[in-house]
Amino acid sequence: MGWVENQSVLITGGASGLGRAIARRFRKEGAHVGILDRSEKAIAEFTAEFGSTAVTVAGDVRDFSAHQRAVDAMVSRFGKLDTFIGNAGIWDFGVSLVDLPVEATDRAFDEVFGINVRGCLLGAKAAVPALVRSGGSIIFTVSNAGFYAAGGGPLYTASKHAVVGLVRQLAHELAPAVRVNGVAPGAIPTELRGPASLGMADESLSSLPVEDIIARSLPIPGVVQPDGYAGHYVLLASRDNARNTTGTIINCDGGFNVRGLLSPSGGAELSRRFKEA
């Protein structure tokens, strides 16, 4: 018997990458799964793997009505919603403040925060009534950038710090009816995309030398595939194993927080770059 046997679990951004790995693990543990995703192609691939028993809803996480449709579909199909996982996200590919094009900054900010933060907030808003009825939980995908600098640029890093704040505030507001926690993975070689507003919609994290970066900077080297993180979500969703756990973020980043300092700052070249002639 799995830790989340017969739970009804909704995952945003669940059609590919980490989201699909989470769905796969919950299914293995005996849960009923559903996803909200904006990619019709990825949803078709998800359906080919999971079959018609899984709920699939196409929509943008920045749209409250999309979340409501997904929650309603889960309750209609499975009679309840036990866990909402706010996982959809985009990365800014580490674009620094000084390299952000002024003309695109507003749009990029709205896009990154809209998906990474607003998407979590709206999903929680739509899911709370059903979760109160089931005594369920919310889990947000954070990132090591929610705790440390240089896990992205200022847009991504600030957005993930905001998700940390959401975990803590909603854990307070919704206790004791609904538990709220997070999982903060390290770098994952997935098709995580960049902001369209910065011309990065077709770029993915998997295009970067993630393994080399990890080998140089982490006490525990080696690339962890998406399914290596999925068990943390199952643990936090489990009523038997995490019933008194709320406001907690599992930081699974290869021991980044215990490493030695490799570089004191990231702006050493700015004086040279902007030195007056």
The catalytic site residues sit at 156
How many CB atoms are closer than 10 A to CB 257?
Answer: 11
Which three-class secondary structure string do you get for 205-274?
Answer: HHHCCHHHHHHHHCCCCCCCCHHHCHHHHHHHHCHHHHCCCCCCEEEECCCHHHCCCCCCCCCCCHHHHC
Q: Within 13 A of 7's CA, how many CA atoms are on the CB side?
A: 33
- What is the Cα–Cα distance from 196 to 208, expressed in whole angstroms? 18
Give the start-end residues of each E strand in 133-217.
Answer: 137-141, 179-185
- H or E element that contains 97: none
